[in-house]
Amino acid sequence: MTQQWPARTAGGPVNATVPVPGSKSITNRALVLAAIADAPSVLRAPLRSRDTLLMAEALRALGARIEDGPDGSWLVRPGELRGSARVDCGLAGTVMRFLPPVAALAAGEVVFDGDEQARVRPMGTVLGALRALGADVDGDALPFTLRGAGGLPGGEVVIDASASSQFVSGLLLSGARYDKGVVVAHEGEPVPSLPHIEMTVAMLREAGVVVDDSGRDTWRVEPGPVAGREWDVEPDLSNATPFLAAAAVTGGEVLVPGWPAATTQAGDAIRGILAEMGCSVELGADGLRVRGGELRGVDLDLHDVGELTPTVVALAVFASGPTVLRGIAHLRGHETDRLAALVAEVNGLGGDAEETEDGLLIRPRALRGGTWRAYADHRMATAGAIVGLRVPGVEVDDIGTTSKTIPDFPGMWAAMLGQR
């Protein structure tokens, strides 16, 4: 059900400390690796949102035991992977792209489906790759059925991953369990969001898996054991960006505690973006502190960090000059066509945004109140919340979609503004 939400207008500069829940990307990768490991694993401070709960439930259906720890952790005990299961992907790209390679190791039939909007998301690349590696799959998009034989030959496969880095990560995460491992080679336009693949490779190595990523657009995972281990989940840096943006658009100050000094998360790029747009950005022992200043228009290539685009657009509408965003044509295949959606919503409030071949052009113009549509897309919803800080009368038509990655975004937003 959708949840209409009047965006809260800031009465002045925001000044707050905002603890952010754990990373969705790290949590879901750690869940997959723990489920196919040789021994139990513990996930400390995992994110518990719709996407990660769907991942946990899907892995339970395939035979893993995932139990709650007393400190909010998850204890994962791997079990024999089995079929005769149904997987609800919701609208989670990580579930629909990471779980089929796991299900190929199970014995029996696994049926995948998800939300209505998920049925149009690109899936043919990963499913075609699994067929080439020896899997039996009916269908090229949700819903589809995979008939596992208790293992997969594996080997080499060539794919076009220009639509999503998740196609590569999904194959790599389970590759060590394939008889011959897996070699994934990409051919096509550059792979977007490469930091997410780098995160996958780093986490595989932390689990004792041998990975060679020295070749251009080629990743090799050797067959072998996956170690059970303790995973410490970092705060989700991409989910932190709307709160940092609140400081930027109101001339205030927001501190996000626990910001890592070194990370593979793509969201870390927000530090440089905010600094280029005119904010003061300080990373210290207490976390990341952002102080707002006069926002400047920028020219940015967001190819590797496209998930930050809605936040940057919400900042750009208040800048002193035009903003050009490049390298993000792949966002047309995300939860929604994010480029078309952002243009429609900015212009619907009286703004001036247009699509380019591979991105967006935003010219600042005074905005008015009105409905900001979320398109069942969590990052569209949070972008509307940012805009509403400065523009009275903005209503986000479905704030509930933020539960995909942030368990209580409305409550966190209200607490940041001191408006509970």
CB 244 within 8 A of CB 36: no
Q: Is the pLDDT of residue 232 over 80?
A: yes
Rounded distance, CA 353 to CA 350, Å? Answer: 10
169 is in an annotated binding site: no
Phi-psi region of 139 (alpha: psi -120 to 50; beta: other; left: phi over 0): left
Amino acid at residue number 265 = Q
Percent of the chain with pLDDT over 70: 99
Is residue 88 in some structural domain?
A: yes
Identify the CA nearest to 27 among candidates 9, 39, 41, 7: 41
User: How far, CA to CA in Å, does 350 sit from each of 124, 301, 386?
Assistant: 38, 26, 16
Percent of the chain with pLDDT over 90: 96
- Residue 275 parent element (H or E): helix 270-276
Q: What is the pLDDT of residues 283-318, one digit of tens each?
A: 999 999 999 999 999 999 999 999 999 999 999 999
pLDDT at 169: 98
- 209 lies in the same domain as 285: no
93 is in an annotated binding site: yes
Rounded distance, CA 178 to CA 152, Å? Answer: 5
First-to-last CA distance in the chain? Answer: 23
pLDDT band at 62 (very low <50, low <70, confident <90, very high): very high
Q: What is the count of structural domains for the chain?
A: 2
pLDDT at 2: 66
165 is in an annotated binding site: yes
- 245 lies in the same domain as 364: yes
- 264 lies in the same domain as 146: no
Is residue 223 in some structural domain?
A: no
- 10 lies in the same domain as 58: no
- 188 lies in the same domain as 242: no
- 14 lies in the same domain as 29: no
- Contacts of residue 266, Cβ cutoff 8 Å, sequence gap at least 6: 193, 195, 196, 237, 238, 304, 305, 307, 308
Amino acid at residue number 59 = L
- Contacts of residue 31, Cβ cutoff 8 Å, sequence gap at least 6: 43, 46, 52, 55, 56, 59, 66, 74, 76
- Contacts of residue 401, Cβ cutoff 8 Å, sequence gap at least 6: 2, 374, 376, 377, 378, 380, 381
- 96 lies in the same domain as 10: no
- 46 lies in the same domain as 104: yes
- 336 lies in the same domain as 397: yes
Q: Is the pLDDT of residue 25 over 80?
A: yes
307 is in an annotated binding site: yes
Is residue 224 in some structural domain?
A: no
Identify the CA nearest to 270 among candidates 286, 252, 254, 285: 254
pLDDT at 239: 97
Please state, rounded to an integer, the average pLDDT across all residues of the chain: 96
117 is in an annotated binding site: no
**156 annotated active-site:** no
Is residue 229 in some structural domain?
A: no
pLDDT band at 56 (very low <50, low <70, confident <90, very high): very high
pLDDT at 3: 78
CB 370 within 8 A of CB 394: yes
Which of 155, 180, 214 is the last residue in one of the domains?
Answer: 214
205 is in an annotated binding site: no
Is residue 230 in some structural domain?
A: no
- 368 lies in the same domain as 292: yes
Query: What six digits make up the tokens of 389?
Result: 């800080």
- 276 lies in the same domain as 405: yes
Is residue 280 in some structural domain?
A: yes
Task: Please give the average per-residue pLDDT across 233-245, as a whole number.
Answer: 98
Is residue 225 in some structural domain?
A: no
Q: Is 330 helix (H, G, I), strand (E, B) or coil?
A: helix
pLDDT at 1: 53
User: How far, CA to CA in Å, does 59 sit from each of 186, 200, 397?
Assistant: 28, 18, 32
- Residues facing 231 on adjacent strands: 43
Q: How many CB atoms lie within 10 A of CB 214?
A: 8
Q: What is the pLDDT of residues 64-115, one digit of tens each?
A: 999 999 899 999 999 999 989 999 999 999 999 999 999 999 999 999 999 9
Rounded distance, CA 304 to CA 291, Å? Answer: 25
338 is in an annotated binding site: yes
84 is in an annotated binding site: no
* Parent domain of 57: 24-214
- Residues facing 62 on adjacent strands: none
pLDDT band at 122 (very low <50, low <70, confident <90, very high): confident
214 is in an annotated binding site: no
CB 245 within 8 A of CB 315: yes
Query: What six digits make up the tokens of 239?
Result: 């989910």
- 189 lies in the same domain as 313: no
pLDDT at 70: 85
Tell me the CATH number at 135. Answer: 3.65.10.10
pLDDT at 420: 46
Q: Is 285 helix (H, G, I), strand (E, B) or coil?
A: coil
Is residue 228 in some structural domain?
A: no
Amino acid at residue number 82 = R
Query: What six digits make up the tokens of 285?
Result: 């022992």
Q: What angle do CA 242, 193, 101 make, to 5 degrees?
A: 115
Q: Spot the catalytic one: 307, 335, 354, 395.
A: 307
Residues in the chain: 420
User: How far, CA to CA in Å, does 358 sit from each of 102, 132, 165, 303?
Assistant: 33, 31, 17, 9
Q: How many CA atoms lie within 13 A of 54 on its CB side?
A: 25
